Structure 1
Amino acid sequence: MEPSAIPRPALPAALSQADEAALTDLYRRGTPANTLRAYERDLVYIAAWKTAAFGSALAWPESEAVALRFLLDHARDLAVAEPEDPAVQVAQRLIQAGLRRSLACPAPATLDRRIASWRAFHRMRNLASPFEAPGIAQARAKARRAAARPPAPKSANPITRPVLEQMLASCDASLRGRRDRALLMLGWASGGRRRSEIAGLMRADVTLDDFQTDRLVWLQLVETKTTLKGKTPKLVLKGRAAAALVDWIAAAGIEDGPLFRPISRADRPLPRRLSPDGVAQIVKRRLTLAGLPADHASPHGLRSGFLTQAALDGAPIQAAMRLSLHRSLAQAQRYYDDVEITGNPATNLLD
């Protein structure tokens, strides 16, 4: 399904075609790119499920019966259901289409996200969502509790300072090595940046004015998951991390455009930006070169590793959050709790 298939906002009847196009464009520009991609994926899945289950296209507004069937089909483990179960047959079609991995019950967060997208599509059309109906809302709450599971970490392990140093040691003087060194150090030392934030950085977002005098580099992210566009505070890189970034910019001759870019086989920077998946591949490759399993950590390990190391070094959590840009103290506190519990005197009661 094409991205343009995302439901357009409800429009006044007297609106001209030019104004209609401008308003639709405004919705797109005003929605984060990651959210748009999630909307597109969810709409493709929902539409395919409706076709497989009912043999018809999505309706606006959708009926409560369809919404309830969607909830029931995704709130149980179909691997133990009878093969002739309609939900199993629909799931098999989605698996064959590459839209579903298995018959296992999807994670509650996945179901919540798809329902949230479906509700958003209704809001765009100024329509009531069937998921607001009391009976369906109650069934959804029961499904969430029935499928509750411990939250899985976004990275198998945090990339703490010792692990990061091993990864950096694998970066040689080639352009690829300089890029990877700068990327890893920026991603870690600037507060644990998400891979989308690293990939989205432009040369114009980096200020080098204070590097020669104070060894400081300033970063200005346009937006993050927890900050609005234009509201993200400046972040700072110091010392080795700042020097690594300056070295990469000079070696690659980057004067404008994307900050981090793919490297050709001839060890030359390409003009396009590095993708978030490219950031993940760099982390995986450097872990392997450091003698660690490729799945030892994901790019989120840079973020969790920064906070874990801050806790290990005794940095105040408020100071760490000023760089990580965590909006929730409770969320950031989890990394500190994992470290501090080993120093809790109550753990020594038997000794």
Structure 2
Amino acid sequence: MTTPAPYLPATSPALSQADQDALTDLYVRGTPANTLRAYERDLIYVTAWKMARFGAALDWPESEATALAFILDHARDLGDAPDEDIARQTAEVLIARGLRKSLACPAPSTLDRRIASWLAFHRMKNLTSPFDTPRVKQARAKARRAAARPPAPKSAHPITRGVLEKLLATCHGSRRDCRDRAILMLGWASGGRRRSEITGLMREDVSLKEFDTSGVAWLSLLETKTTAKGETPRLILKGRAAQALVHWIEVGEITGGPLFRPISKADRVLKRRLTPDAIYQIVKHRLRLAGLPEDFASPHGLRSGFLTQAALDGAPIQAAMRLSLHRSMAQAQKYYDDVDISENPATDLLG
């Protein structure tokens, strides 16, 4: 067997080859696919950073000095740094390789994620991480505070009911239109599903046993960002959204396998599943057809739009969260707060 990647358990002489293979397989199956992809991207980045900065490969465990240099290099804007600044030179190498966008100070969340991945690699190898030392922890906290910025919304605007209706109006009679209508309505009405959740659905995850009698479809998500496998409650789809989904299943002749699939230029349904990026392209395409700017909203607008509309309609936040599957009340409350403050009578005191 080839040597496992640093985000997988290191080989151990105490384990047989079969046990080592089983442990590696357990890590892969027990780690969400999105997390594995993030680990791979972060590993590529930190490996390239150290080679450009120190001319050396990663060490296991890594030194405290290297960890501090990584934090310092990513805790300031390098646009004004002199050309001979080693941090700037390193950043320019990463930009040339397409691993970094600019010399601007990265968002604290980006730095936090890369450090968290690097720390996780050490834990998987059963090694002490330099990011756990008091001095590095303190430097990381100071860097986070120094680079603090207002959080940018994941979607420029929420796709509220009115906007959604405009997008749906662009879906006419082709198979592509039927598919896109079902995606938009399911993504919105089932609680604001994430892209990976939509594309991860299989035909077997949809129950239509009650559709003929009550017009209801049930969805079984394998897992979400906030729920583990087997712990995600079933979600309900009613009315027009359920009808759109059933129509797509019939038109697309989806008897099993991926629920949402690519469609050829000849309007033929393919067998493979859509990628999460395809949902982004679908939303952008429908925005353009509806006469709205392509950057008016992103797929996350389906999620933020569902919660915003729930607040506008006076639905209790607990009811909305049962569908959105938000784990944090504070996170969901943000959408309600944006609506509540505009309706607050105290905002009209001056007249």
**TM-score, length of structure 2 as denominator length:** 0.98
Tell me if the contact between 1:3 and 1:40 (Cα under 8 Å) persists in the aligned partners.
no
2:20 — aligned with what? Answer: 20
Deviation at 1:346, TM superposition (A): 1.0
Q: CA 1:47/1:3 → structure 2, altered by over 3 Å: closer, same or farther?
A: farther
Tell me if the contact between 1:187 and 1:194 (Cα under 8 Å) persists in the aligned partners.
yes
1:238 — aligned with what? Answer: 238
1:249 — aligned with what? Answer: 249
2:41 — aligned with what? Answer: 41
Q: One-letter code of the match for 1:81?
A: A
RMSD: 1.2
2:287 — aligned with what? Answer: 287
2:180 — aligned with what? Answer: 180
Secondary structure of the equivalent of 1:113? Answer: helix
1:347 — aligned with what? Answer: 347
Deviation at 1:66, TM superposition (A): 0.4
In structure 1, the gaps of 5 or more residues are none
Secondary structure of the equivalent of 1:266? Answer: coil
- Count of residue pairs brought into register by the alignment: 350
Secondary structure of the equivalent of 1:171? Answer: coil
2:157 — aligned with what? Answer: 157
Q: One-letter code of the match for 2:196?
A: S
Matched, 1:221 2:221: yes
Secondary structure of the equivalent of 1:91? Answer: helix
Tell me if the contact between 2:4 and 2:10 (Cα under 8 Å) persists in the aligned partners.
no
1:302 — aligned with what? Answer: 302
> Kindly, what percent of the aligned residue pairs are identical?
73
Deviation at 1:9, TM superposition (A): 1.4
d(CA) in 1 for partners of 2:57, 2:306: 47
Deviation at 1:254, TM superposition (A): 0.4
Equivalent residues in 2 for 1:316-327, closer than 5 Å: 316-327=316-327
Stretches (4+) displaced over 6 A? none
- Cα deviations across residues 112-140 of structure 1 (Å, max 9, x unaligned)? 00000000000001111101111111111
Deviation at 1:313, TM superposition (A): 0.5
Secondary structure of the equivalent of 2:98? Answer: coil
1:270 — aligned with what? Answer: 270
Deviation at 1:4, TM superposition (A): 5.2
1:102 — aligned with what? Answer: 102
d(CA) in 2 for partners of 1:324, 1:65: 43
Deviation at 1:20, TM superposition (A): 0.7
Secondary structure of the equivalent of 2:173? Answer: coil
Q: CA 1:266/1:3 → structure 2, altered by over 3 Å: closer, same or farther?
A: farther
Tell me if the contact between 1:199 and 1:275 (Cα under 8 Å) persists in the aligned partners.
yes
Secondary structure of the equivalent of 1:80? Answer: coil
